[in-house]
């Protein structure tokens, strides 16, 4: 995943007028064209994050952006169609929305904007064993050490 970092990139995505508003976020999308596209050495999907003062103070805005980045890693990264720029806009509800609902908001927005692709990459934990019979040398998946109420409940 690439990042949108400059204001003109954000404005180009907003200018495409393709967006979906959900209770936890607003997703804006823009297909690449000859005027704005990533360089050949950059990823085919780029993402930008924004949170205005309507979301709250600095602590709430930073938490909202962190939650959106985590949702992108779990939902957008494996399911976003290549050739798009996305901007996720935090809303006041972003910091209070239950984690599964926030991820569902993002998945629904991707589907509504017709930028969803099926087929999640096979992880090492679910990959079939090698065909030649050699032992699997991939590292074992790590347990989630951040689970539980002491670590902040069900949200990152």
Residue 34, C-beta contacts closer than 8 angstroms, at least 6 positions apart: none
Least Cα distance to 107 among 143, 133, 77, 134 occurs for: 77
Rounded CA-CA distance 140/124 in Å is 8
CA dihedral sign, ordered 101, 9, 42, 117: positive
Number of H helices, E strands in the chain: 4, 5
Q: Is 0.85 topped by the overall pTM?
A: no
pLDDT value for 1: 79
Per-residue pLDDT 10s for the chain (156 aa) are 788 888 998 999 998 889 999 999 999 999 887 777 667 667 778 899 999 999 999 999 999 999 999 999 999 888 888 888 999 999 999 999 999 999 999 999 999 988 888 865 444 333 444 445 545 454 444 444 444 444 455 556
């Amino acid at each position: 995943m690439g990042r949108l970092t400059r204001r003109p990139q954000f404005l180009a995505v907003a200018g495409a007028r393709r967006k979906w508003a959900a209770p936890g976020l607003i997703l804006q999308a823009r297909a690449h064209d000859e005027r704005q596209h990533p360089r050949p050495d950059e990823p085919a999907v780029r993402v930008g994050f924004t949170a205005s003062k309507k979301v709250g103070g600095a602590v709430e805005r930073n938490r909202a952006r962190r939650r959106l980045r985590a949702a992108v890693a779990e939902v957008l990264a494996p399911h976003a169609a290549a050739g798009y720029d996305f901007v996720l806009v935090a809303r006041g509800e972003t910091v209070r929305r239950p984690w599964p609902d926030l991820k569902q908001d993002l998945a629904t927005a991707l589907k509504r904007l017709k930028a969803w692709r099926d087929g999640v990459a096979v992880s090492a934990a679910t990959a079939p064993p090698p065909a030649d019979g050699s032992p699997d040398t991939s590292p074992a998946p790590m347990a989630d050490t951040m689970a539980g109420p002491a670590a902040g409940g069900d949200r990152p």
